[in-house]
Amino acid sequence: MTILYCDCFSGISGDMFLASLLDAGLAAEQLEAMLRRLDLPELVSMDVRKVRRGPVEATLLEFDIGGHQQGQHSHQAHHRHLGEITQLIERSGLPEPVQRTARAIFEQLAQAEARVHGSTVEEVHFHEVGATDSILDIVGAAAAMHILGIAQVYSSPLPLGTGKVETQHGLLPLPAPATLELLRAAQAPLLPSPATQELVTPTGAAILATLARFEQPAMTLQRVGIGAGQREMDWPNVLRVMIGAPAEQPDTHVELETNIDDMNPQLFGPTMAHLFSAGALDVFLTPIYMKKNRPATRISVIARQQDEEKLAGILLRETTTLGVRARGLRRYEAGRQMRRVHTRWGEVAVKVKVVDGTAVQATPEFDDCARLAEANAVPVAQVIQEAQALAATEVKSNQE
């Protein structure tokens, strides 16, 4: 399995993402051949060249669109609705996995725009993100994943710049509202940055929100790529990507457990909540019998190795136990992506399980279903049932 890690210390945009993959060995001719299948008459050429960003050599990608270089034409007339973009992709004859990934990224983007502007996905009129260069960036990202055989994308935390950006909607604060909504929906970790320019674009955010898990994987490194941003900054304005295989690690996770027979049962709830907030992946209680047939409870915690000491401390401080057992675990994980489905009562987030690059299962988020059920005075089971049916349809379409 091939995995990709994005080191976004200077942010990410669609063209930086593609440029970094070209620098890592993606053939420019293959990428351009894929993009030409979109049959966009305004696409004149694709220019790939080496540049320097500070002391670092990187690859810069620019599309010549109707005579306007990328970054100089975001307010040109090539603005499209989601339906037009979907038709463009479906008519292209691109491989089905490429079409599926590109549609998923644009759907994430449309949902973010709709929430920000208080409209529906169908009513969203893309401006910057519907411009030709963004279509090329997103479809190019999907094509690159397919060509390189990348099964899972990972990302570092993202720098949170400040300032303002001029858009078709007027002057907006940074990060742009759609970017911020994408990152919120993906629960992306953010870091402060002194930059007063846009570091994470809506296109870059949509690619990561759709494809990436925000964590650093254990991996065997095979290739490195460095993609240049359009602007010069006080630091190297580049995106680094690392391509490789998952490293064999027998002890990537840990299981903590302790047996308790002398604690008020009401205290288990707050302790469980604190364990989850401190990074536990799972916490569960098991009724057991201890010596002299005393009824007791076993608390079990599944966590990443780096959180072991912190979580063991919570168990020692907040329960009556005198000791916590720990043992290493080897954990196999499916890929996951967050999508949204539209029920008659509103939007529901759906967690999509991905195995070998194919969506195999989708599960609605219970909290969203419960919230909509409460707001619309309907049984929560009814909302779950409809969301599950819509999610199953999406998974089936992805498999075809």
pLDDT in tens, 345-364: 998 989 888 887 777 888 99
Q: What's the whole-number mean pLDDT along residues 55-84?
A: 72
Q: What's the whole-number mean pLDDT along residues 63-67?
A: 79
pLDDT in tens, 190-208: 999 988 889 999 999 999 9
10 Å CB burial of residue 233 (0-12, 13-18, 19+) is: middle
Whether omega before 295 lies within 30 degrees of 0, making that bond cis, reads no
In the chain, the amino acid numbered 282 is: D
Q: 69 vs 150, which has greater pLDDT?
A: 150
10 Å CB burial of residue 335 (0-12, 13-18, 19+) is: buried
Taking the CB of residue 191, how many other CB atoms lie within 10 A of it? 11
CATH architecture of the domain 253-329 equals 2-Layer Sandwich (3.30)
Q: How far apart are CA 354 and CA 356, in angstroms?
A: 7
What are the backbone dihedrals phi and psi of residue 197, each rounded to the nearest 5 degrees, phi first?
A: -130, 165
Instruction: Tell me the domain boundaries of the chain.
Output: 2-246, 253-329, 335-399
Cβ-contact 211, 338 below 8 angstroms: no
Q: pLDDT grade, residue 76 (50/70/90)?
A: very low
Q: pLDDT grade, residue 78 (50/70/90)?
A: low
Residue in this structure with the two tokens 């051949």, named with its chain if needed: 33
pLDDT in tens, 157-166: 999 888 877 7
First-to-last alpha carbon distance for the chain, in angstroms, is: 22
Pairing of strands 253-260, 170-173: unpaired
Asked: is 335-399 a CATH 3.10.20.300 domain? The reply is yes
- Which residues contact residue 393 at a Cβ distance below 8 angstroms, ignoring those fewer than 6 apart? none
pLDDT at residue 400, rounded to an integer: 57
Kindly report the average pLDDT of the chain as a whole number: 89
CA 264 to chain centre: 41
- Which residues contact residue 252 at a Cβ distance below 8 angstroms, ignoring those fewer than 6 apart? 218, 304, 305, 329, 330, 331
Q: What's the whole-number mean pLDDT along residues 150-175?
A: 84
Residue 75 has pLDDT above 90, yes or no: no
Nearest to 142, CA basis, from 153, 130, 132, 131 = 153
Type and span of the H or E element at 117: helix 96-117
pLDDT at residue 171, rounded to an integer: 79
Count CA within 13 A, CB hemisphere, residue 252.
13
